[in-house]
Structures are given as C-alpha cells and as structure tokens.
Chains A and B, each alone.
Chain A
Amino acid sequence: QVQLVESGGGVVQPGGSLRLSCATSGFAFTDYSMHWVRQAPGKGLEWVSIVSYDESQKYYSASVGGRFRISRDNSKDTHYLQMNGLRPEDTALYYCAAARNAAWHNFDFWGQGTLVTVSS
C-alpha cells in the first residue's frame, strides 16, 4: 500500500524557517522523483519543487527559488523541503507527490498534506 506522510508544518512568523518531511512507503522510492505542490486556503494547486531520484537535479518555481531547498534521503525513503525566509503568501497546505523517473510530469501518488501558516 502506497503511503506518503508529510510532517513539519506549523505556524511561523514572517522571515522564519520550517523543514517539511515526506516519509514514504509501499513503492520503490528510487524509481520516483519527488515533488512538493502547495495549495493556499480555498485556492488551486501550485507546483513548488522537484528532486530527481539521485538528487542530481533540483528545480524550483520562481516564487520560492532562492528561499526553499529540496533534498531527499534514499536510505530513509524520505524527502524534505527546507523553507527559509517565509512570507505570508507561502501560507498553504503543502503536499508531497511522487512521479516516475521517466515521467516527472505525472504526479502519481500524493500525501495528505501538512499546513504551513506564516503570520505574525
């Protein structure tokens, strides 16, 4: 049974930092590249970042580039999103999603999300 479980969300002041984690099970982790996708309250989906299976490639949306850093630990079947310099507009439910290495554009599996609230 495929499972993706996000954690690490919470309330943080503007300018603060958080580290999100996405622990996975039920599939071959290294057969998949891993995304973060976010959804602001009552809004649509927004792609945030992707890390390839071997961490050789990492890409970010323009809205988070330079502030967020994605990584993964294949020994733990887990990937991470380090978020620095948080802004109120980063407030959202953050989902992790898995995409087969040959098809990064298809978000095959999703977690249930972890909520990040940036507020003073």
Chain B
Amino acid sequence: TLTQPASVSGSPGQSITISCTGTSTDVGGYNFVSWYQQNPGKAPKLIIYDVNNRPSGVSDRFSGSKSGNTASLTISGLRAEDEADFYCSSWTSTSAFYVFGTGTQVTVL
C-alpha cells in the first residue's frame, strides 16, 4: 500500500498537494503512477497517468509529479466540485502487481 495523507483541505482558489509515498519497487522505480478521483457514491475516474499526463477532458488544474519514492498530485484553483477522495496507484515489481494509495479526502473550506 502507498501512503497518502488522510485528508487535505483548502479554500476556493488555493492550490493543494497530495503526496503518495512508496518504495523503490513501485513509485520510485517506475514512471507508472496514476491518480484517481472518486466522488461520493461514484466510481473512480482516471485524472493523471504515467506520473504527469492528463487524459483528454481532464482539467489542467490537475497536475502530477514525482521525486524519488514520492509522487504528488497538485490541484490548483481549488473549486467546491473538487471535494472527493483521491487515490494514487502504481505498478510494483513485487508479486502484488498493482498497489493503491490509502486515499486522501479533499475538503474545500
């Protein structure tokens, strides 16, 4: 499991960053990190793939990066509609194959 903060909050218009810490066998070893937004009662939605790429149709307010064993998701210009749970994921060279982060609840104050 990848480690994320349980919750992050910010005011409308601000920027927030969610961290995702793994090891050299997953986040640190490969550029196979993706991020998912899950609104309450809904399925997850891919918002960042391969560390820092956005699928078509995803707002450019979402951006991803990685340094060492930690990946990060930044949401700029925070909006009320961004309130959701966010999960990171990575391929892992261990027999686990794929691991998800513990999840971060984003609150817009």
Contact = CB atoms under 8 A, between A and B. Distances in A.
Interface residues of B, number: 25
A104 B91 contact: yes
Given A59-B97, A103-B49, A45 B90 contact: no
A106 interface: yes
Nearest to B103: A44
The binding surface of chain A is classed by DSSP as loop
Nearest to B104: A44
Contact of B96 (A50, A61, A107): A61
B44 A45 contact: yes
In the complex, which of the residues A59, A106, A108 has the most CB atoms of chain B within 10 Å of its own CB atom? A106
Interface in A28-64: 35, 37, 44-47, 50, 59, 61-62
Nearest to B1: A44
Contacts of B97: 47, 50, 59, 61
Nearest to B4: A44
B103 to A, nearest CB: 4
Given A105-B89, A107-B36, A107-B44, A47 B99 contact: yes
Interface of B: 1, 32, 34, 36, 42-46, 49-50, 55, 87, 89-91, 95-103
Interface of A: 35, 37, 44-47, 50, 59, 61-62, 95, 103-113
